[in-house]
Structure formats: structure tokens, C-alpha cells
Structure 1
């Protein structure tokens, strides 16, 4: 074996089918130029100059990077890129051997530069094309080499040319490679370099041919994102929503520039015939080159091991070996040992995160707990879903269920980030701000929970009247996930509560643009259009929501539009359809009561609807006594039920003093005061409603306000109106 010093052609190295030219800065494999970053090329030269010797990790860092302001991960990444360029298997190395925590050794046989390359080793393992053979092209592949270079390479393999022809071929190939390298370097210089140890987890593709299995692929991607986000020294890009699937077909270089990361992790998932196949790969965004790819064809029970192996490969490639990190990843990626429990949990998680029926999410989480009674994440999921039902549906019983679920989750795992977020949300729902901030602050230590923490803190400070602080936390959340429709939806609702309807509409429109098939988002947008007086746009948004998946809120709000159009039969029918889906919201019962009052011979039914509305709103106010809208609505229901004037006056006074949701509160109170015959006071409330942004048609078309100066009387018997606001 010739050493570097003995080489008759210094600066040229040949081994296997590899040709390395130090002066031209080129690496050819089987005659094809391989794009390699300058730092990785320098590492290769350092190893080739000392063949067979162990080169210490610190020595390589000193030689190539000057060992200043870099982590060992940059060296690990360079080695991974070299292995990809050399087609070298790290488990069975032919060229570069790793000595963990020590360094690297070149173990290939250097040839005389005048010798021809050996044919590729058939035992070297599958190439990327083979390992990803049954996966769809998740990212656009790197450009193929020029055809003339490939033809030259074929000629070189098929016959041994004379020495002068070999030298001519090497020079020509070197020139081509030099041009490729120069073009690549100029391109690299024009684009700011992403952080070295950084990755974006793309949405995983479901290749099982079963649409319902999308939740499983999406859930695995989310679990992988959250696990990698917990690794010290590794920057993980914002979680991408499943709606961003088109990003898979884009060039990895442009995706890397957009997301500001050095690598992309993508995968395809197939569950079929009792087997599970996952194809995963890590792509360098600077070159578009695949750093590694793996195919896992195993039993479904191996899902936890597969996830851990993929995560470990990513961490080793980007930041090197971290003491105890593999064990931490394994623990995080295996929250349960029951595959059936994990499957149900992922189903519930997707239902909850994508704004689908929170009741469905609870049922899936319950199924997970039936398989593993100690599954803390599933228990925390129940708490969060029940809190959402309490807030979205004004369902007091949901709060009691959430309280019990949160307590059990914290008993199972007092340090679980999901459980602390759930407990914080529970306190926030009751208006217990100090307690909410305490639990959010604890959960912030978990990087995967920070978006939920920042949104929660934004809502907490907003409730406390600290609008600047709220905006600051919303901005933090958006900096982590700028395209998360849930964040834009939360901002929209906060704008609605502040009476800024144009800003609320803009935020909800952004949310539906990002997630166009989300029925609840369309419903919320329709509700904002409705309260702001844009009835035609409200009708279109609500109809779109119902077309995707009927929700009780969309149905009852569409019923309100039909009511103002004078179609009371259609209005009552829509409210009843809403109650079939969910009968826990007092506002829907109140809306049904007002529609029935407009129909002949339906007053008895209307009274029963108002009685249900009174019962549910009273129970809700036991938990949220400072909810001004609920207090005003209760006054309206009680006036229709003939309750004492004094208690009705007290509800009007308390709701007005609280000052929140001023337009809705003023409208309820105006209706109540008209029913009491106090027209001057009612007129003042109407003026308050209009000043707070109430749509004129909800005033002038409201029969409960007939008799007030400036409000024309109507001859029908309909009374009042309420609107189901976004949650």
C-alpha cells in the first residue's frame, strides 16, 4: 500500500472507485463528480494524509475549523456527508472508521494514481435509490450528472485505456468537476449559511393507501419533531402542518433557505398486511445530497424502536454522540409500551390539534388508557380536550371532567410538559391567572411545549388587561410556528374579544388559508362576519364549514342568519340540528327560544328552550362568575321566564360593569330592559352596542327592540337574538 508521501502523484488519491484531487478540489466516484462542502473535503484530506492512523476528533476540529466556536457536531456532519459521497456504510466501513468519542481513521487501500479503480464492492450495502425504492419522491432529488461524464465513466469501467488516455480522461473529468465545484461554491457564497446543527421535520407521507391512516403518519412526524426539539445544541425548525405537503416536492435547497436549516428529515409510512415499513432520509440543504437513508421493514410493535433509531441517526449526524441522549430519546419516543394505546393516542391527538370534535379526541384518549392505564400523555390529552369543550361550548360539566383528568395526569407524571400545560389551561379557564402563569412557566422548560406555553401566556396576560405583553407572547409563538393556523385563530379570537372585528377577520382568514379543510375555523370566521354585519360572507363561510363537517356552532349561527332573513322555520330547524350534535351550550338553547317565539303556537316550546338556557348558563356562571356575556344572557332568559325584576336588574348591572364583550352584553341588556318597559335605559344600551361595533341590522331587525326611538317596530312576535361566538 502506498502512503501519501510515497504517492508518485502527490495530491492525488485513489481508493476503490474513488479519485480525489487535492489541487482541483474534486472527488469522483465511479467517474461521477460528487459535491462535497469545503470543510468536509478538508477532513477527507486530513485522513488521507495519515492513512491507517487514528486522527483525534480535536485534531480534526483544530485543523479544519480552528476549533473556535464550533461543536463536535460539525465534524460528525462532515463525516456523514463524506460517507454519502463515498458510498461508505458506517456500520461496515470500507473507507472511514469511527472510534466513538476518540476520532476517525482512513482504513481504505490507497492505490497508485496510475492504477484503475476497483469495481464497486457488491457487499457495500444498498444505495439510496434501493433503500427508498418504494417511497414516493418526497423531496426533489439532486440533479443527475451530465450524460457525457456518465458515458466516460462507463468507458473507463468497461476497458483499461492506455496510460495517456487515462491521464486525458482524468484531466477532462477533473475540469468538469472543477466547473461543477466552482458553480456550487459561488451559489453557496450567495446564500446565507443555515445553522450547522439544524433540521426541519417534514410531514410524513402515508403510503398505505388508507386515507384514515394519515393520522398515524402525521402523529409520528409530530412525535419526532418534539423529540428532536429536546436535544441540546440541535436547532429544530417550526413544526410544519400536514397541509404543507407540497413542500415535499420542492427542491431541498430552496426548502432549506426558506426554513433556515441545514438538513431535512422526511419519511414515508406504510402499514399493510400486518407489517410496517418506514423509509426515512436526511438531506443536506446546501447540496441537495442525501446524507443517509434507511428502510425499516418490521412488525408494527417495533414502531418505538424505529423512531428511536431514526432520531439517534439524526442526532449522531448533526451533533455527535451526547452522553445519555439516546436513552432520553428512547424514553420520549416510547410514552407507552402498548402499540394499540399509542395508535389511539395519535388518533386523539390529531383530532384535538386540528380542531375536530373534542369529544372524539376524548374517546380516543380513553381508548388509549383502556390499553395502558398509566399512559400519562393520554390522560393529559383528556384534560386539554375537556377544557376546550368547557370554553368552546360553555359546558360546565366538561370543567369537572377536566379537573379530574388533570389531577390524574400530574399524579402519573408530575414533570410531564403536556400535563403542566393542561393544568395551566384549566386554571386559565377559571380566570386563575397567577396559577396559570405558574404552570405555564414550569412547562416552558420542555421545548416541544413552548408554542402552547406562549399562546397560553398571551391569553393569560390579555385577560389581565396587559395587551402589550399578550402581543409579545403571540409574537414569540409565531416566531416558532409562523404558519400554524391555531395560533392565528387564537389571535383572531383575542381581537374579537377586544372589539377589533377587522383584525379578527384577517386572522381567521389567514387560519383558513393555512388549513382550508378545517370546519371549525370556517365556523369561527363565519361567526365574526355575522357579528360584524357581513351577513352574506357569514353565510358563505358557515355553509363551507357545514359542507366540510357539520358543527353545532356553524349550524346555530347559520340559523341566526335565517332568523334575520325572516325564515323562522329554517332558523328553528338549524338550531335543533345543532342541539342534536351538542346540547350543552346555553346560547344554542337561547337561539332556539327566540326562533320559536316568532312561530305561531310555539310559545310553550320557546319557554322550555329558555328554561334549558337558564339552567345551563347558571351552572356555567358558578365556574366563571365574571363572564359578562353569560350574565347578560342569563338576564334575558330570566326576563322571558318571568323572574323577579330585582334579580334581572342585578344581572344587567354586573354584566355592564365588567366591560368585556361590550357589544354583545349591551345588546342582551337592551332586550332585557325593553321587556321590562324601561325604554330610555334600553336606548342607552343600544347606543353602547353600536359604539362597540354592533352591526346595525342586528339592532334594526331585532323585534325585541321595537318601540325604542330610531328602531322601527315589527309586527311579528319574534324576540331577541344571540350569536354563537368563536371559542
Structure 2
């Protein structure tokens, strides 16, 4: 091997390779099979390039890890996953390989009949290898949209949060799955955060929310929905970097393009105004250079409402031509993306639903989105993207509320979307969310990998893949996926929320707090983010900061997450009647969620004379939690809480069994350790309770949380645990 960073002697590696019906262009980073483009993640493509450069040679695993990931101190599974993705793209069978041969415990060898095209000779078995330094570890080169998983919350991803009845998990209901390497980007101008801004790319653009000039202020959804569709279409253009959607402004002004360019790392900004009057629509669009502030292109379109799809496609083509100097590589595909339905009467409610699905939607907003998507389907029953929207909204609602009944409705919606158009990228993404929510991880991976082929959906697909790995305890791999999503959507609060939740799952509380601070800076009017941040503050023992965050959340919009978190604060302060009241209000707002019900039982158990009510409430919480765990079988925290509920119902064997299952899951270790201490203390297993409490402290569970637990307070103080019911 040539030392990394030095050029090999002689001719460089080929730019293009051909074997059978496969063509690989290492400059354009493209792979086609039978003339059809195949999507590959950047790391997988870099692995393929290295194998091709060393065709016929054994390339050791450590060499690949060093060259592609920059070091070998990553989970070995990242290489295994990259090889699996390559086999899927090439149609290669691991048991009877035609292209990639596995030397077990050693590495891999390319064994195909290789022909090089341009830029050098095909490497022989003794040819010097070119280093991949500089390109192999680069992030994705194309940008997209969609999330969440909803979620992903578009991903607006599902709102995930710490959710603990006595402490960290009673905390913040409004968070959703996951995370990534903590990178503080864009808009970090407040809260004292650092501000490493992304470098400006040449062929790059940010799509501003289109401004509505219609007399009806309620018409904003139409203009903003057009911007979302435009963003998705442009994100699918190879070679064009598209930043995350810029949040709307209350004053409807586009803002300073030069400042936007600095914050988002783009060279251009597209903004437009939309005015609808009767049967006509006027769209005035302009493309602005963010470095000079000069307008590069502008045009006004005065058309019939029925021409909206062709107008959008025309604007997109003009933008691509202005930025890249060429027409879109596939104009029909661009037009199809911007023409999702044959009926304008279906498009308008679809845009309403799409607007609500963006970002970090609340349960109320998700329900409203479903209603709009259903209205769209009434107008066009074959509108697959609207049906996929219902699926994704309901999956996100399930992840927010943990209501088993919501999952059943989500499953029905997803299956109907698959029947309408099983090839649609949004359907693959929705099915990935569905399988992941049920812990069907192999099927989820397959669906997300298929969704990656739609470039506009890649951030959401990466988030989904990251959640899978994070929930299995594969922290490094989860962070790698989330960082890919961050690179594609810089400045997106959803991605930073995912980053924060992953840090929380891996017991990095300070990093989780910092990520949520970033998210609230990016989306300062998101009530769920403030509730989740407050929950994290509370887990860290910062009660004043927690209360301020909860109050901020409730001032924006009352929600069950903030109410429950505020109840936890009152519980820790010993105000059990007030805590029970707040928990009950939260439970009424989310009647299918076991968590606020279990919290209510905890508060009642601490009130003299309320033991009977506490017991019946624990029974209800346990029944609801078991229905949830039957769907989400790998949720360690849910199983640990179920153990706690069963312990308070004096079902010792069931409590110990659920606790063992929670520990075996291997995730959320600090939460499981804390609840193990409570369960053992409640059952009178004092030695086991002390050992679990020591584990919880070693995992940085806040001492204030331990002292606030009635069942642990005597133990933490060194005295024996009194015989008492509940926490």
C-alpha cells in the first residue's frame, strides 16, 4: 500500500470500471446496473472503489476501516453492513459470490471479470493501491428531505424524549428516536453556543418558505406546501446540494440572503411569493447569490390554478439550469415529482397535511394531518403519497403516545399505501417506520435502504437506520447514520433532536442537553422540544432550569409531555397531590399512553389514604404497557417500567422476569439500573437493590432523583427500606 496522503507512482487508478452489466464511475460517484442507477451510501461506495482498485487481491478489514472510516476504532459491523449493501446493489450472493469474495476474519477480494474505462489501467493483482484519503470518508454528495419518520417527525421524526415516572423517564414525553455525533451547526447565535458554520458549496441552494400574498392568511399552507414539494424535487437532482427547509417567519419576509448563506452553507437562496385569486395563481420566483446578494434569475408566472404542477416543474428546471449550467439530467422525473396527483382538488388538502407533517409535529397536528390526507384521498383514491402520509403520521403518533391502538391504525394505513404503489419512496420510508416500530429490524433495514434510492428521502431514511442501531445499543453506527442526515439537512432541528436522544440513550446526559439546546435554538417555538429539554435538565438535577423549560413549553402550547414533566418536578419536590393532578391531566390528553398513568399511580402511592386508587392505577398502567411491549418488544425502558408496575401489584415473579428482559436488551442502562433498584427495594431484595443503586450512580443518575424516590430514600441514606407501597 502507498502511505496514506501520498500519491502512488505511475498512472492513477481508473476513473471508470465495467464488469458484466455494471458500470462504476469513481469521479461521479455513480453505480449503474443494467443501465439503471443504484443508490449507494458514500461509505459503501468507497469500499467498492477500494476493492476495484485492488481487484484480485485480498484487502484486509483493517485496511478498509483505515481507508474508508479514517480509523479502525469503529464497530466492525459498519464494514459488514457496507458489504451487504454492495451485494444488494450488485445482485451478488454471499454463498455463491460472483463479485465479492469473503475471506472470513481476514477481509474481502473482488473476483469479477473487470474492465477499466478511462483514467488508467485496470489494476493487476500486484498493482500499487491508491489511497482513498480525502474522498473515502467524505459525506454524502446529494441532498434530500422527508422525515422523521415522520417523524420521521419529516422526517419530522417522532417526538422522542426521556419518559420516567420518578425521574429521568418520567421526564420528557415529547422526544423521539435518536441522534448522531454532536455537531453544533447553524443558528448557534444564542445560548452561548459555538457557531461552526458549514462551508459554502457552489451548486447549492436553500429553499425558503414561499410567501403567501393572498388576502386569506389561512392560505399560507398552499405557498409553504409548494416550497416543500420544490425542496423535495431539487433535492433529487444529482450534484445539487439542498439545505434543510428554512423555517417560516411570522412576518412573511424572506430575510437577508447573505446571512442565510452563512448560516446554511449554501451559495444561493430560492424564494417566491404566491398569490391566489379565484381560478388563477401568480408565482414570482427569484434565485439570489448569497455572497453578493445579487439576483441571478427571477420570473413571474401568471397561470390557471390547474397549471400549478407544470409551473413548479418549470421553476425547478430554471433553478437547476442557473446553478449547474445545464438542464436537469432527467426533466420528466423532475416533473413527475412535482405532479403527484391528477386532481388539484386532492393536491390542496395534501399540501395542508404535508405542512403539518414537517418538523416536530405534536399529536394534535398529526391527527389534523391525517384528516387532510384522508380528504385528499376522497378526491383521488389512487393518491399514494397521501396514503403514505397517513401511515407516517400515525406511526409518529404511536411513537409519541405508545398507544397500541394507534399502531393498529398505522399498520392498516401503511399496508394500503403499499397496495397503491409499492415502489414509491415514501411508501418504503413508511414501511421502514412500521417495521422498526414493531422491532422487525431486518425488514425495516430493507425498507429504509430502498428509500435511500429517492435522494429527497435520504435524511429520513438515515434517521430510521440510525434509530435501529441506536435502539440495539450500536452507538457508533447510529451516530454515523445521524451525522449523514445532519450533513444532508444542516440546521434541521429534527436531526439535532435525534442526536440528543441518542446521547440520552447512551447515558451521555450533558451531550444530550447540549443537542436539545441546539434544537430549541433552531426551532424556538416548538413546545415538545422545550418539554424534552426540561426533562433532561430534571434528570441532571437542574430543577430551576427544568421548571423554566416546562413553563416555556406550556406557554407555547399546553401538551401532555410538559404537564407530565412538570408533574415529575412537583413529585421530586414532595408535592404529591399537585403531581397527581398534573399527571392525570397529562393522561387525559394522551389516554392510550401507559406512562402518565404509571406516573399518576406513583404520586397516589405517596399520598396517605390513596393506596387503593394507586393499586388500580398501577394495574391499568401495566395492562397498557404490556400491549405496547407486545408491539415494541425491544424497548428496555418500557419493560423496566412494567417490572415496576408489577412489583407494586405484588407480582414478584412477573416483576423479576420483566426486569431480566429489560437488562438483557442492553440499552438505556442508567434507566434500567435505577428502576432495578426501585423494583428490588419494593420486593424487599435489599442486597440486589443496593447493587443496582450503585450501578445507577456509576451511570450518573442524578442524586436528587434517587432522594426523591420514597422507596429508595431510606436505602440511599443507609437505613433499611420500610415496608411501603409504591414510589
Normalising to structure 1: TM-score of the pair? 0.67
Written as runs of structure 1 = structure 2, the 5 A alignment for 1:70-469 is: 197-208=203-214, 210-242=216-248, 248-250=254-256, 252=258, 255-256=260-261, 261=266, 263-272=268-277, 275-285=280-290, 288-319=293-324, 322=327, 325-357=330-362, 358-469=366-477
SS of 1:248's equivalent in the other structure is coil
Residues 667-694 of structure 1 show CA distances to partners (whole Å, capped at 9, x for unaligned) of 3222222222222222222222222221
Asked whether the equivalents of residues 670 and 700 of structure 2 are also in contact (C-alpha less than 8 Å), the reply is yes
Q: What residue number does 2:623 align with?
A: 615
Residues 34-71 of structure 1 show CA distances to partners (whole Å, capped at 9, x for unaligned) of xxxxxxxxxxxxxxxxxxxxxxxxxxxxxxxxxxx99x
- Give 1:207 deviation, angstroms: 2.8
- Give 1:318 deviation, angstroms: 4.3
Asked whether the equivalents of residues 534 and 549 of structure 2 are also in contact (C-alpha less than 8 Å), the reply is yes
Asked whether the equivalents of residues 499 and 512 of structure 2 are also in contact (C-alpha less than 8 Å), the reply is yes
| 1:708 to 2:715 alignment | yes
Q: What residue number does 1:185 align with?
A: none
- Give 1:210 deviation, angstroms: 4.8
SS of 2:285's equivalent in the other structure is strand
Partner Cα distance (2:625, 2:257) in 1: 54
| Partner residue of 1:503 out of 494, 511, 524 | 511
| 1:655 to 2:700 alignment | no
Partner Cα distance (2:663, 2:317) in 1: 58
- Give 1:476 deviation, angstroms: 1.6
Partner Cα distance (1:466, 1:709) in 2: 32
Q: What residue number does 2:547 align with?
A: 539
Residues 227-280 of structure 1 show CA distances to partners (whole Å, capped at 9, x for unaligned) of 12223454434433336999933255x655665555432101234566533211
Q: What residue number does 2:493 align with?
A: 485
Residues 374-417 of structure 1 show CA distances to partners (whole Å, capped at 9, x for unaligned) of 11112111222222222222222222222222222122122211
SS of 2:284's equivalent in the other structure is strand
Partner Cα distance (1:624, 1:528) in 2: 23
CA-atom RMSD in angstroms = 3.0
Partner Cα distance (2:722, 2:566) in 1: 23
Written as runs of structure 1 = structure 2, the 5 A alignment for 1:33-72 is: none
- Give 1:208 deviation, angstroms: 3.1
SS of 2:423's equivalent in the other structure is coil
After TM superposition, the structure 1 stretch with the greater mean CA deviation from structure 2, 524-533 or 306-315, is: 306-315
Q: 1:560 to 1:259 in 2, by over 3 A?
A: closer
| Partner residue of 2:694 out of 674, 687, 711 | 687
After TM superposition, the structure 1 stretch with the greater mean CA deviation from structure 2, 207-216 or 601-610, is: 207-216
| 1:642 to 2:650 alignment | yes
Partner Cα distance (2:261, 2:507) in 1: 40
Partner Cα distance (2:442, 2:248) in 1: 35
- Structure number, greater radius of gyration: 1
Asked whether the equivalents of residues 703 and 714 of structure 1 are also in contact (C-alpha less than 8 Å), the reply is no
Written as runs of structure 1 = structure 2, the 5 A alignment for 1:459-608 is: 459-608=467-616
- Give 1:216 deviation, angstroms: 2.7
- Give 1:352 deviation, angstroms: 2.3
Partner Cα distance (2:264, 2:680) in 1: 56
Residues 90-120 of structure 1 show CA distances to partners (whole Å, capped at 9, x for unaligned) of xxxxxxxxxxxxxxxxxxxxxxxxxxxxxxx
| 1:677 to 2:695 alignment | no
Q: What residue number does 2:60 align with?
A: none
The structure with higher relative contact order (CA 8 Å, sep 6+) is: 2
Residues 154-211 of structure 1 show CA distances to partners (whole Å, capped at 9, x for unaligned) of xxxxxxxxxxxxxxxxxxxxxxxxxxxxxxxxxxxxxx99766544322222333555
SS of 1:242's equivalent in the other structure is coil
Q: 1:245 to 1:460 in 2, by over 3 A?
A: farther
Residues 315-365 of structure 1 show CA distances to partners (whole Å, capped at 9, x for unaligned) of 344456758844323221121233343222222222222222233332322
Partner Cα distance (1:287, 1:632) in 2: 57
Partner Cα distance (1:332, 1:709) in 2: 60
Normalising to structure 2: TM-score of the pair? 0.67
- Give 1:468 deviation, angstroms: 2.5
Q: 1:656 to 1:251 in 2, by over 3 A?
A: closer
Which consecutive unaligned segments of at least 5 residues does structure 1 have? 1-68, 71-191, 721-727
Q: 1:321 to 1:503 in 2, by over 3 A?
A: closer
Q: 1:626 to 1:478 in 2, by over 3 A?
A: closer
Partner Cα distance (1:297, 1:712) in 2: 79
- Give 1:488 deviation, angstroms: 0.1
Partner Cα distance (1:499, 1:622) in 2: 26
After TM superposition, the structure 1 stretch with the greater mean CA deviation from structure 2, 564-573 or 461-470, is: 461-470
Q: 1:266 to 1:569 in 2, by over 3 A?
A: same
Residues 449-497 of structure 1 show CA distances to partners (whole Å, capped at 9, x for unaligned) of 1111222222223334433322222222111222000000001000000
Q: What residue number does 1:129 align with?
A: none
Q: What residue number does 2:150 align with?
A: none
After TM superposition, the structure 1 stretch with the greater mean CA deviation from structure 2, 423-432 or 461-470, is: 461-470
Partner Cα distance (2:388, 2:341) in 1: 14
SS of 2:270's equivalent in the other structure is strand
Partner Cα distance (1:389, 1:616) in 2: 16
Asked whether the equivalents of residues 611 and 641 of structure 1 are also in contact (C-alpha less than 8 Å), the reply is yes
- Give 1:589 deviation, angstroms: 0.5
Asked whether the equivalents of residues 703 and 716 of structure 1 are also in contact (C-alpha less than 8 Å), the reply is no
Asked whether the equivalents of residues 265 and 280 of structure 1 are also in contact (C-alpha less than 8 Å), the reply is yes
Residues 491-518 of structure 1 show CA distances to partners (whole Å, capped at 9, x for unaligned) of 1000000000000000000000000001
Residues 287-311 of structure 1 show CA distances to partners (whole Å, capped at 9, x for unaligned) of 5443432223444443323212322
Asked whether the equivalents of residues 206 and 270 of structure 1 are also in contact (C-alpha less than 8 Å), the reply is yes
- Give 1:542 deviation, angstroms: 1.3
Asked whether the equivalents of residues 543 and 569 of structure 2 are also in contact (C-alpha less than 8 Å), the reply is yes
- Give 1:215 deviation, angstroms: 3.1
